Structure 1
Amino acid sequence: MLGETTRDRKAERREATRREILDVAWAVAREHGLAQLTLREVADRVGMRAPSLYTHFASKNAIYDAMFGAAWEECEQVAAQAQQQALSDTPRARLRAMTRTFFEFSVADLARYQLMNQRTIPGFTPSEEAFAPSVRTVRSAVDLLGAAGVTDRDDVEILFAMIAGLVDQQLANDPGGDTRRRLLDRAVEMWADGVGLSPDSAVSGPEPH
């Protein structure tokens, strides 16, 4: 009919197959570890011959690349939602929301966190396109800190390293537990004190340090 958009059913089927391949790849990675991902097992689970995967992904690293990009896109969306909900809060409250959101997203999925933040796969480097959402996510966090008056790059790097350390310790030593989760707010408050971020009751910017 006039005015209707013509559907590209072939493209839709191709995209659906790509999503299925990625879903299966994540399932294999979560069961056996990222480094144990094989095209043969992914193909078997999808119901195709391994060479047929090459019509959708040029290599195993191309699958990792798509997984990496999708993971960071999801993280970007979750972080943006959390920041939007915390807009009316104090700078420290927004900081706590930001760090809790990243911590919970990270510890919820070991394989995803390893691909996003650790060099787990020898020889794999994400493409510029796949890396872009991670850059945007970090830039958004840096902008949030800058709006609170924290502009020293070293201060920001210390915060990021501290959160990553707590995530790593949680996943390595207490997966499914809360030993490091319980330390998160305390660690953030110590950092905030160190950089002179105003207390929750204050309305002015951070004190000089």
Structure 2
Amino acid sequence: MSSGSISIFLMRGVAVKNEGSSSSRERILAAATKIAQAHGYNGLNFRELAEDVGIRAASIYHHFASKADLGAAVAKRYWEDSAATLDALLAGSPNPARALSQYPATFRTALERGNRICLCSFMAAESDDLPQVVMKEVRSFADVNVAWLSRVLAAAGIVRSEETEERARAIFAAVAGAQLVARSRSDIALYDALIESYRVAGLIPASTF
């Protein structure tokens, strides 16, 4: 084999290794997210996670140096995905009011998937036990939601500009709370009923079509 062929072979080997490494990291994150949504940060266990993914526990440390690093990565990925979902919701809606009326559906999805709740809401309840690096990412989830709601409320002209953040925080807290109550009863219909009560009260705009 010529030196040029050897170089190409080695380069391909590195590419395959990197692809495999990236795939393993994604599978770990996906599995860890499911576990955290059901059991929170304290439910993350490297040995059990490795069994779920089908790798050795030691392999997880290749991607995440500690449980705190894993928890932070999971929370960060979660709020980044949530931010992308909200941006897509606004972009695909005919007007801001319509996007706002659909906001509760983004939390309903977790309940539809095995009676789960928002991962960052779950972790926020564990704040006393969370490493700072994890708590930082958990808070980012709330910040992203409140910022999006504030922006959409302002665009829809539903409240005065100086009141948008206060209303945004109220909507975020109410929707997250409804999700938590519904999960505790394993009753998604209860979530829908609570959201409808928010609409009747005027906290969230009625659905527009």
State TM-score, norm by structure 2. Answer: 0.71
Q: Which moved more, 1:60-69 or 1:74-83?
A: 74-83
Which whole-Å CA distance do the structure 1 matches of 2:125 and 2:109 have between them? 18
Shift in CA distance, 9/182, structure 1 to aligned 2, threshold 3 Å: same
Q: CA shift at 1:40, angstroms?
A: 1.3
1:94 matched residue in structure 2: 99
2:194 matched residue in structure 1: 183
Contact 1:96 1:185 in 2 (8 A): no
> Structure 1 or 2: larger helix share?
2
Structure 1 position 119 matched with structure 2 position 125: yes
Shift in CA distance, 172/127, structure 1 to aligned 2, threshold 3 Å: closer
Contact 1:66 1:130 in 2 (8 A): no
2:5 matched residue in structure 1: none
Q: CA shift at 1:41, angstroms?
A: 1.5
Mapping of residues 189-204 of structure 1, within 5 Å: 189-192=200-203
User: Which residue identity is paired with 1:120?
Assistant: E
Q: CA shift at 1:11, angstroms?
A: 2.0
1:145 matched residue in structure 2: 153
1:39-72 Cα distance to aligned partner (Å, 9 max, x none): 1112233344323321110111211112112222
Secondary structure, aligned partner of 2:95: coil
Q: CA shift at 1:16, angstroms?
A: 0.7
Q: Structure 2: any 5+ residue segments left out of the alignment?
A: 1-10
Q: Structure 1: any 5+ residue segments left out of the alignment?
A: 1-5, 201-209
Contact 2:107 2:117 in 1 (8 A): no
Contact 2:111 2:117 in 1 (8 A): no
- Of residues 86, 94, 98 in structure 2, which corresponds to 1:79? 86
Q: Give aligned-pair identity as a percent.
A: 21
Which whole-Å CA distance do the structure 1 matches of 2:150 and 2:110 have between them? 18
Mapping of residues 14-33 of structure 1, within 5 Å: 14-29=21-36, 33=39
Shift in CA distance, 166/81, structure 1 to aligned 2, threshold 3 Å: same
User: Which residue identity is paired with 1:10?
Assistant: K
2:7 matched residue in structure 1: none
Which whole-Å CA distance do the structure 2 matches of 1:19 and 1:28 have between them? 14
User: Which residue identity is paired with 2:106?
Assistant: F
- Of residues 65, 68, 72 in structure 2, which corresponds to 1:65? 72
- Of residues 182, 198, 207 in structure 2, which corresponds to 1:170? 182
Q: CA shift at 1:160, angstroms?
A: 2.1
Which whole-Å CA distance do the structure 2 matches of 1:135 and 1:184 have between them? 21
Which whole-Å CA distance do the structure 1 matches of 2:54 and 2:207 have between them? 57
State TM-score, norm by structure 1. Answer: 0.71
1:146-183 Cα distance to aligned partner (Å, 9 max, x none): 1223231333322222222211211112x243123123
